[in-house]
A = this chain, B = another copy of it.
Amino acid sequence: MELAFAKLDGLIPAVIQDHATREVLMLGFLNPEALEYTQLTGEVHFFSRTRQRLWKKGETSGHVLRVRQLLFDCDADSLLIRVEAVGPGVCHQGYQSCFFRELELDGTSHIVAERAFAVEEVYGKKGTQ
């Protein structure tokens, strides 16, 4: 099975979903190397677009994502990775899910989730993921 990395400059978006609750935790991008590391280690690796390097989710926080099921879509250009998320949350802003804000019609937003952990205790002051 060939995934369509070429459609997006060598990257493929991956939806990270909690395998038990079915909540969507985050979205990241994988390049072929990140997919290889993800499959070999059983823990999700991304390609960080900001840092332009391989990035094991949880390398700083310890909040790793253990792969339970790896699915791909009809066009083979997106992944859905069902995971067991270690720790209270995946978001570097202290929430269980990175999708903690709702966008309103008028362009304003509001927070719809409770903080799950203290950011500085987990990440230090840098706030990297």
Q: Is the CB of A71 within 8 A of B112?
A: yes
The copy count of this chain in the complex is 2
- Size class of the A contact interface (CB-based, 8 Å): 35 or more
Binding site for B on A (CB under 8 A): 1, 3, 7-8, 13, 15, 17, 21-24, 26-27, 39, 49, 69-75, 78-80, 91-93, 95, 98-103, 105, 107-109, 112
Show 30 residue pairs from A and B whose CB-CB distance is below 8 angstroms, ordered by the A residue: A1-B101, A1-B103, A1-B108, A1-B109, A3-B103, A7-B49, A8-B8, A13-B27, A21-B22, A22-B24, A24-B24, A26-B78, A27-B80, A39-B105, A71-B99, A71-B100, A71-B101, A71-B102, A71-B103, A72-B101, A72-B103, A72-B109, A73-B98, A73-B99, A73-B101, A74-B92, A74-B93, A74-B95, A75-B98, A80-B99
